[in-house]
Amino acid sequence: MTPQTIELPARTPLLSRAGWSTFIVAVLVVCALAPALNLWVPADSAFHLSDYAVGLVGKIMCYAICALAIDLIWGYTGILSLGHGVFFALGGYVMGMYLMRQIGTDGNYKSDLPDFMVFLDWKELPWHWTFSDSFVATLFLVVAVPGLVAFVFGYFAFRSRIKGVYFSIITQAMTFAAMLLFFRNETGFGGNNGFTDFKRILNIPIATQEMRMTLFVLTGVTLLGFFLMARWLVNSKFGRVLQAVRDAETRVMFSGYNPLGYKLTIWTLSAMMCGVAGALYVPQIGIINPSEMSPANSIEMAIWAAVGGRASLVGPIVGAFIVNGAKSWLTVAYPEYWLYFLGALFIGVTLFLPQGIVGWVKKLKGAKP
């Protein structure tokens, strides 16, 4: 038998030439144009970027990171998670704990302890608050806590080959259980009020225009960084195996691969991305409470990815912007119609746009001669 050579498709570049130029423009917009328009253009000018817009876009960019994370696990690996809200909230809570400690003695009760602990008549910080006064430890925990939770959960779930809708429902149960847990005062996370009323970050006042802009830029850079990382990941051999798992997991196993490691890695990574998004989200919004873990929130994340287009990396970002942009407009203009719209979006996208908006645009382009 003569040895056969297999023609592997040539490794595609990370981004095409046009892709790179778009990417650089995006970096410039986030890092230079937006701050300039917000901070230095006078408020009455037509080109001024309002603080409201900065807050909104900053928030949506956090959501876009989540959508990207969902896309990696759902679009590329075929695992639909309905529990990513937990990881988002965990990252947010870790950051929130740090911000609560930063309040110091400026709270209503002038105590070293956060207000809600004084209210519950606690005398000292519970054990899980040990590292909350250190910013470095917080940065580490923002990634580590969601990562660890996801790793343990994923290990048990994937090891016993729970997949498809089973997995989705179990993740939903997980986020539901976590929400119930965090609603309890005894858990030590402020019960249903959560954390709010932050004053400082790194001893710098948090509610200033400059700080808002800094967080905005940081979020934008993180989003773009994650985008590049995801791009690199799905183009690598690792990414190919993921897509093979999505399309025919049994065949992957018969070819000698153990999908457990692949699924677990991408699952944990995706959870970490959500954790980072949560940590960026909390100082911008100024509140974190257990309702972030409600099953509805996690499902909404999936719809961002679906609207934009699964299995493309630009798609989820576009989807997050479109859905949340529509949400922030509709909930103000026609609050009673927002849920109709969202519901119709769920149905319409699954029925008519299985590839999402990006896939639809691609098809339109392809149809042209």
Partner 1 sequence: MLSQWIRLTAFALCLVSGSVQALTTEDANAMAIGDTDARVEALVKAMATADDKTAVFLQALADDAVKLVGTRAFMVKGDKGVDPVSGLEFALPDEAEDIINNNRMRGELDSALAALKLFSKDAGIRLAATRQLQSDADESKLPLIEKALATEQDAQIKDLLAMVRASALLNSTDITQRLEATRLLATSTQASTKTALLARLDQETDPGVKLALQKALREVEAALAWGDRLGAMFSGISLGSILLLVALGLAITYGLMGVINMAHGELMMIGAYATYVVQGLFQQYLPSAFDWYLLAALPVAFMASALMGVVMERTVIRFLYGRPLETLLATWGISLMLMQGVRTLFGAQNVGVENPSWMSGGVQVLGNLSLPYNRLVIICFALAVLGAVAFLISKTRLGLFVRGVTQNRPIAACMGVNTARIDTYAFALGSGIAGLAGCALSQVGNVGPDLGQGYIVDSFMVVVLGGVGQLAGTVYAALGLGILNKFLEGWAGAVLAKIAVLVFIIIFIQKRPQGIFAMKGRSAEA
Choices 15-23, 180-188, 193-201, 325-333; region in contact with partner 1 by CB under 8 A: 180-188
Identity (one letter) of the amino acid at 19? G
Determine which residue in the list 24, 165, 207, 228 makes contact with partner 1, applying CB under 8 A.
165
Q: Find all residues with CB under 8 Å of 73, minimum gap 6, and list them.
A: 79, 81, 266, 267, 270
- How many residues of this chain interact with partner 1, rule: CB under 8 A? 44
Determine which residue in the list 16, 22, 343, 363 makes contact with partner 1, applying CB under 8 A.
343
Determine which residue in the list 24, 28, 177, 228 makes contact with partner 1, applying CB under 8 A.
177
Choices 38-46, 53-61, 159-167, 280-288; region in contact with partner 1 by CB under 8 A: 159-167
Q: Quick check: 258 binds partner 1 (CB under 8 A)?
A: no
**Which one, of 183, 194, 204, lies nearest residue 286 by Cα?**
194
Determine which residue in the list 25, 181, 207, 228 makes contact with partner 1, applying CB under 8 A.
181
Question: How are the residues of the chain apportioned to helix, strand and coil, as percentages rounded to the nearest 5?
Answer: 75, 0, 25
**Which one, of 299, 364, 363, lies nearest residue 85 by Cα?**
299
Q: For partner 1, give the closer residue by CB, 173 or 228.
A: 173
Residue 100 CA to residue 196 CA, distance in Å, equals 8
In the complex, what is the shortest distance from the CB of residue 299 to partner 1, in angstroms, rounded to a whole number? 5
Q: Quick check: 332 binds partner 1 (CB under 8 A)?
A: no
- Two tokens, residue 327: 């949400």
Q: For partner 1, give the closer residue by CB, 150 or 276.
A: 150
Q: Quick check: 339 binds partner 1 (CB under 8 A)?
A: yes
Q: Quick check: 152 binds partner 1 (CB under 8 A)?
A: no
Q: Quick check: 350 binds partner 1 (CB under 8 A)?
A: yes
Residue 346 CA to residue 198 CA, distance in Å, equals 35
Measure CA 357 to chain center. 20
Q: How far is the CA of 42 from the CAs of 49, 78, 321, 361, in angstroms?
A: 9, 48, 27, 38
Question: What is the DSSP secondary structure assignment for residue 112, as one 8-state letter?
Answer: S
Q: For partner 1, give the closer residue by CB, 63 or 227.
A: 63
Determine which residue in the list 51, 140, 354, 363 makes contact with partner 1, applying CB under 8 A.
354
Q: Quick check: 351 binds partner 1 (CB under 8 A)?
A: yes
Q: How far is the CA of 326 from the CAs of 215, 338, 341, in angstroms?
A: 23, 9, 9
Instruction: Give one DSSP letter per residue of 267-295, joined into a string.
Output: HHHHHHHHHHHHHHHHHHH-EE-GGGGSH
Q: Quick check: 176 binds partner 1 (CB under 8 A)?
A: yes
Q: Quick check: 297 binds partner 1 (CB under 8 A)?
A: no
Q: Which residues bind partner 1 (CB under 8 A)?
A: 74, 80, 82, 153, 156-157, 159-162, 164-166, 168-170, 172-174, 176-177, 180-181, 183-184, 250, 295, 299, 302-303, 306, 336, 339-340, 342-347, 349-351, 354
